[in-house]
Amino acid sequence: MSRPDGSSGGQRPVGPRSLGGHSRDSLPSLGDFRITDGPRRGSLVVLQLTGRLDGRAAQLLQQRCNEVRTQGVQHLALELSGITFLASSGLGVFLAETEEFKESGGSLHLVAASSVVASVVNLLNVGRFLSLVPSVDDLVVKNSR
């Protein structure tokens, strides 16, 4: 089926249109937040996040993570170097999805957290709930040892 936004693959299109429940025209703007597919590393799927991760973006991210999980992907890395703002909702999704991936026998990793991410993580002392790694290479090398 041809998608109105030109995307392909997956059960549902990724992008503002996949936020079911809105009529398409009334969808709030997502600002500059983007999710792009990074290079896949073996069983590890990488998504690159850029822009402001606020409430609306957080919900989009959660839906994308959910899609990835239902497609049977076990290990997901979110590359965060391009995140310019992290709202509580964004952190909430990181925490919730880390639990969800654990629950389904997999793992979620936060890669190259920018200072905006790191400062919130430190402030709330939630590093112990999250897997924070400096780079995807680190993750792959350490994992293959």
What single-letter amino acid sits at 19? Answer: L
Minimum Å gap between C-beta 25 and other proteins is 11
Are the C-beta atoms of 106 and 76 separated by less than 8 Å? Answer: yes
Q: What is the contact surface with other proteins in residues (CB under 8 A)? A: 1, 8-12, 19-24, 26, 28, 43-44, 54-56, 58-59, 62, 74-75, 87-93, 95-96, 98-100, 102-103, 105-107, 109, 113-115, 118-129, 131-134, 138-139, 142-143
Minimum Å gap between C-beta 41 and other proteins is 11
Minimum Å gap between C-beta 51 and other proteins is 15
Are the C-beta atoms of 60 and 20 separated by less than 8 Å? Answer: no
From the list 51, 66, 65, the residue with the least C-alpha distance to 116 is 51
Minimum Å gap between C-beta 113 and other proteins is 6
Strands of 9-122 (E only): list them: 34-37, 44-53, 75-86, 107-111
Q: Of 48 and 62, which has the nearer Cβ to other proteins?
A: 62
Q: Of 48 and 130, which has the nearer Cβ to other proteins?
A: 130
From the list 88, 94, 84, 92, the residue with the least C-alpha distance to 52 is 84
- List the structure tokens of 47: 């998504």
